[in-house]
Amino acid sequence: MTASNDSPAMVTADPLAATHPASLWRDTLGGILRQRSAIVGLAILTLLVAMAVFAPLIATHDPTQTLLGFEEGVAKRSAPCIHAFGCPETEPEHYFGTDGNFRDVFSRVVFGTQTSLTVGFTAIGLAILFGTMIGAVAGYAGGWLDNIMMRIMDVLLAFPSLLLAIIIVTALGQGLINALLAIGIVSIPVYARIVRSSVLSTREADYVTAAQALGESTSGILLRRVLPNSMTPLIVQATLGIGGAVLEIAALAFVGVIGNLETPEWGSMIALERNQLFLAPHIILAPGLAITLTVLGFNLLGDGLRDALDPRLNR
């Protein structure tokens, strides 16, 4: 994927064009808001971020608390009970029922938002950071350094991603942080390739030569002249990538590489109650829907951003 030089987001990054910054930003924003899928995606994600931030207020129970002995009448894997919808007042209220450890499923799903979004943003943030460094250095330096770095990226891409993440976590040891690192490492090559290709396409541009002639340092040229051109594809890919990371962390938790988690996490909630599918499907359905909705939000926003920011694709 190569960056185009004329998309509005990138022009704003160039100080020379900053005479009408407000209108350019407005154009970009307008472009995004004209995309129906972007609006839906943005709405879903706003909801989810709000849920993550205000989780302690939204959740009805402590997500890690076993309610046996704390709440009268609590039952193991009880069906959803909402008093407003006709559930008898004698039963304790649990919007999504309880799980096998007498915990409130609704609260666990709500707090799971925090886990998934944190892991998604951090893992992809790390991947962008390292991917950008690798891609920028490889593209700008060229030669053997470029060759070696890109061959390493090829090797990482040669694995099915979940499998690579699995062997990295088994090597680093179980745990959420290591799973996050694994997802980050697996995602690096995509960003390295994006940045490298846009560096290659702008390295010889006149304004870069001009900056060199003016005596700007290499790192300055890379940061201020070359990298802003990668912003559009990076933003689009990152949006889709966070959705992918949310899927991946759930999958890693589901196959059990993460181990036992104290923090509520959607994939491990499903793994834990997998065998109860026919008896208590709500325990699986609730986190399953949460994962799907989150990933859908990122995918819709990513598609909308691509259509809005990349003029070449406007058909």
Partner 1 sequence: MIQFILRRLIVTIPVLFGIVLIVFATSRLIAGDPCRAVLGERATDAVCEPFIKRYGLDKAIVPGLYREDRELQFRPADIPATLLDNQFAAYLGGLARGDLGDSIKFSRPVATLLIERLPATIELTILALALAMLVGIPLGLISGYRRNSAVDVGTMAFANLGVSIPVFVLGLSLAFVFALVLKDTPLSLPPSGRLSSGIAVVPLATTFGLESLDGPLRALLDFFSGFFVLTSLITGQWAALGDALRHLILPAVALGTIPLAIIARITRSSLLEVLGQDYVRTARAKGLRERTVVLRHATRNALLPVVTVIGLQLGALLSGAILTETVFNLAGVGRSVYEAITGRDYVVIQGFTIVIAFIYVGVNLIVDISYTYLDPRVRLR
* Among positions 145, 155, 210, 223, the unique one binding partner 1 when judged by CB under 8 A: 155
Considering the complex, state which of residue 19 and residue 260 has its C-beta at the smaller distance from partner 1: 260
* Among positions 55, 150, 166, 221, the unique one binding partner 1 when judged by CB under 8 A: 166
- Which residues inside 32-71 make contact with partner 1, applying CB under 8 A? 37
State whether the Cα torsion 118-119-120-121 is positive or negative. positive
Q: Is 288 in the site for partner 1 (CB under 8 A)?
A: yes
Q: Is 270 in the site for partner 1 (CB under 8 A)?
A: yes
State whether the Cα torsion 301-304-308-309 is positive or negative. positive
Q: Is 177 in the site for partner 1 (CB under 8 A)?
A: no
How do the residues of the chain divide into helix, strand and coil, expressed in percent and rounded to 5?
70, 0, 25
Q: Is 284 in the site for partner 1 (CB under 8 A)?
A: yes
The single-letter code of the amino acid at 159 is F
- Which residues inside 207-226 make contact with partner 1, applying CB under 8 A? none
Q: Can you tell me the distance from the alpha carbon of 179 to that of 70, in angstroms, rounded to the nearest whole number?
A: 33
Considering the complex, state which of residue 29 and residue 167 has its C-beta at the smaller distance from partner 1: 167
Q: Can you tell me the distance from the alpha carbon of 209 to that of 4, in angstroms, rounded to the nearest whole number?
A: 18
User: Any long-range contacts for 86-93 (C-beta under 8 Å, 24+ apart)?
Assistant: 92/67, 93/60
Q: Is 126 in the site for partner 1 (CB under 8 A)?
A: no
Q: Is 257 in the site for partner 1 (CB under 8 A)?
A: yes
* Among positions 16, 171, 213, 214, the unique one binding partner 1 when judged by CB under 8 A: 171
Residue 98 gets which letter from DSSP? B
Considering the complex, state which of residue 23 and residue 170 has its C-beta at the smaller distance from partner 1: 170
Considering the complex, state which of residue 22 and residue 151 has its C-beta at the smaller distance from partner 1: 151
* Among positions 33, 163, 210, 223, the unique one binding partner 1 when judged by CB under 8 A: 163
- Backbone φ and ψ for 81, nearest 5 degrees, come out as -140, 115
> Do residues 182 and 249 lie in contact, with contact meaning Cβ atoms separated by under 8 Å?
no
Q: Can you tell me the distance from the alpha carbon of 205 to that of 200, in angstroms, rounded to the nearest whole number?
A: 10
Q: Which two tokens stand for residue 262?
A: 């104290």
Binding site for partner 1 (CB under 8 A): 37, 151-152, 154-156, 158-164, 166-168, 170-173, 243, 247, 250-251, 254-257, 267, 270, 274, 277-278, 281, 284-285, 288, 291-293, 295-296, 299-300, 303, 315
